[in-house]
Amino acid sequence: MELSNILNYEFVQRAFVAGILIAAVSSILGVFLVLRRFSLIGDGLAHITFGSVAVVMLIGVSPVYITLAALPLVMLSSLAILKLTHSRRIPGDAAIGVVSSVGIATGIVLASLSNGYNLDLFSYLFGNILTVTRIELLLSFIVFLAVVATLIFFYDDLLAVTFDEELAQTMGVKTKRINIILFLLTAIAAVLAMKIAGIMLVSAMLILPALTALQLSFSFRITILASVIFAVLSVICGLLLAFLLNLPAGGTIIIINIVFLLCTFGAKKILPAKR
Amino acid sequence: MSEEIIRVDNLTFRYNGTEVINDISFVVKKGDYLGIAGSNGSGKSTLIKNILGILEPDSGAIKIFGQPLTSFRQWQRIGYLPQRINALNYHFPCTVKEIVQLGIKNNEADLKNTLEMMGIAHLAASLIGELSYGEQQRVMLARALISKPDLLIFDEPTTALDPETRDVFYSLTGEINHKGTTVVLVTHDTGIIGKYASNLLYLDKKIIFFGTFEDFCSSPDMTGFFGLDSQHMICHQHDKTGNNT
């Protein structure tokens, strides 16, 4: 089938639009998460999403609303990670590990209790961008607007907290509020990214574009912009390649992301340092 | 009578049940340069973090510029230079200009003046992570100074500086203080701080000494506590500035 014919299908168009929106959201949040050494929060939240999806499937929620129904649990878990991180009793990476274990263990146990929905549940492990529903598309658009608005209105606060949380506090920044906003948006992004890349590759959607942009040693604003460009290009190239070569879309998108990262590593080696 | 910039009354702070600061009280007045010294774990940085509202005391009261800390909102009146910025351990994607302007809006003229005063105007477009530690400290000092604060708080700012850069840094703090800014500086450099500070607060979970350097250097109690040699070492630089002990 011709590529132009494929692009005429509504579900393909939905996949492109949702993919671009979710990639943009993940890549913006990713810059803040990577710099604050919360890179693995995507993994943790993806595992929680697995458990949450298992719970809502067991309850019998219609497949159309599963993403929406899983959101509250994932958002609560994200806040739990934040709370544990600041408790000073558990290091941040361990906090992610604890919450992540709860999610995956719950998912496995619930899956074994009801064999009927195992197949559906495990399809979330690898994601399928072509099954993005209209509700998920709408949610992606709302989250995209929310992230852009947060970036515009709280740019200085976000930058200050990312640079040094204690210093930000002494500048009058409401660091708790900023952290809650960042973690809640990350939770929503993780749930949506699961549709594209699957549970196993959610953190790649958050980390890889940001890491690639960081290799280029730009200012903060340009780094965020570069991260978005890399993420969106990865989705477009990945989806086109997946259609042309009949490959899984999620994995292809992530491989394109990795190619971009390797290219920036190479460019950094070849090009002279600025200083 | 000088305005009270910081008032600490009966402050106690515990960390996981262990007492780090035990019932301390002192006042910093306008124009003072207070050096806070003490051995590792004596509670110096914890005290600063309590004053800045980063940590919450278990008991006691803190007032900044006459206002209770809990209702204090004029954070632009305080410039703070932390002991360590984690982000500087790797290549944080921020230019010097972005860092110095953090939280400040529409202030190009002030930015230019501050960068020139710190001798880092030529680094404005450089990434902070690409600078030497001494240059990074100048950037952070510029960030603390750009809002023209009435109070500057430094937490061991010279820890990783070479002796020459350290002396330049202390000299800068002295100049800033002479222009009227109140300075509070946590340090291990007890041999140097006397050259610039008017007052000394020596901590060991509780206050061992609080007062002027003149009082410290002439105190038989402090001779008994520190020993004559250590007391002389602390007072040596203060004497060299011509102050009478």
| Interface subset of A 94-153, CB within 8 angstroms of B | none
Question: Cα–Cα distance between A159 and A108 in angstroms, integer?
Answer: 39
Are B87 and A214 inside 8 Å of each other by CB? no
The count of residues in chain B is 245
Residue type, A8: N
Read off the pLDDT of residues B17-32 as tens digits, 9 standing for 90 and up.
888 999 999 999 999 9
Which of B6, B15, B62, B86 is the best substitution to test chain A (most A C-beta atoms within 10 A)?
B86
Whether A161 and chain B come into contact, CB under 8 Å, resolves to no
Q: Which helix H or strand E contains A166, and what residues bound it?
A: helix A165-170
Which is more confidently placed, B124 or A87? B124
Whether A172 and chain B come into contact, CB under 8 Å, resolves to yes
Question: Cα–Cα distance between A215 and B91 in angstroms, integer?
Answer: 9
**Among candidates B75, B85, B95 on the partner chain, residue whose Cβ is nearest the Cβ of A170:** B75
Are B126 and A275 inside 8 Å of each other by CB? yes
**Among candidates A169, A217, A220 on the partner chain, residue whose Cβ is nearest the Cβ of B98:** A220
Average per-residue pLDDT for chain A: 87
Read off the pLDDT of residues B147-162 as tens digits, 9 standing for 90 and up.
889 999 999 888 767 7
pTM of the predicted model as reported, rounded to 2 decimal places: 0.86
Closest-CA residue of A relative to B52 is A170
* % of residues, chain B, pLDDT over 90: 40
Closest-CA residue of B relative to A275 is B130
Read off the pLDDT of residues A149-177 as tens digits, 9 standing for 90 and up.
999 999 999 999 999 988 999 998 999 99
Which is more confidently placed, B119 or A64? B119
- Please name which of A196, A206, A198 lies closest in space to residue A129, comparing C-alpha atoms: A196
Are B93 and A35 inside 8 Å of each other by CB? yes
- The pLDDT assigned to B68 comes to 95
**Among candidates A160, A169, A217 on the partner chain, residue whose Cβ is nearest the Cβ of B93:** A217
Are A171 and B52 inside 8 Å of each other by CB? no
Which of B46, B89, B92, B137 is the best substitution to test chain A (most A C-beta atoms within 10 A)?
B92
Which is more confidently placed, A234 or A50? A234
How far from A209 is each of A93, B91, B93, CA to CA, in Å?
A: 21, 16, 14
A vs B, Cβ pairs < 8 A, gives 73
Closest-CA residue of B relative to A37 is B87
**Among candidates A88, A170, A223 on the partner chain, residue whose Cβ is nearest the Cβ of B80:** A170
- Please name which of B73, B14, B70, B85 lies closest in space to residue B46, comparing C-alpha atoms: B14
Question: Cα–Cα distance between B187 and A109 in angstroms, integer?
Answer: 55
Closest-CA residue of A relative to B132 is A275
**Among candidates A172, A173, A217 on the partner chain, residue whose Cβ is nearest the Cβ of B127:** A217
Domain residue limits, chain A: 3-266
**What structural domains and CATH numbers belong to chain B?**
4-235 (3.40.50.300)
Query: Is the backbone of residue B35 left (phi > 0), alpha (psi -120 to 50) or beta?
Result: beta
Partners of A86 on chain B (C-beta within 8 Å) are none
- The pLDDT assigned to B90 comes to 65
Question: Cα–Cα distance between B120 and B146 in angstroms, integer?
Answer: 13
- The pLDDT assigned to B244 comes to 39
The stretch A221-233 carries a mean pLDDT of 96
Q: Establish whether this prediction's ipTM goes over 0.95.
A: no
The CATH homologous superfamily of the domain defined by A3-266: ABC transporter involved in vitamin B12 uptake, BtuC (1.10.3470.10)
Q: How far is B231 from chain A, CA to nearest CA, in Å?
A: 34
| DSSP-based three-state secondary structure for A216 | coil
Question: Cα–Cα distance between A163 and B132 in angstroms, integer?
Answer: 17
Q: How far is B85 from chain A, CA to nearest CA, in Å?
A: 6
Mean pLDDT is highest, among B26-35, B86-95, B172-181, for B26-35
Least confident range of A101-105, A242-246, B90-94:
B90-94
Which is more confidently placed, A210 or A43? A210
Mean pLDDT is highest, among A36-45, A114-123, B176-185, for B176-185
Which of B70, B102, B127 is the best substitution to test chain A (most A C-beta atoms within 10 A)?
B102
Regarding beta strands B199-204 and B33-37, do their DSSP bridges make them parallel or antiparallel, or are they unpaired?
parallel
Are B94 and A220 inside 8 Å of each other by CB? yes
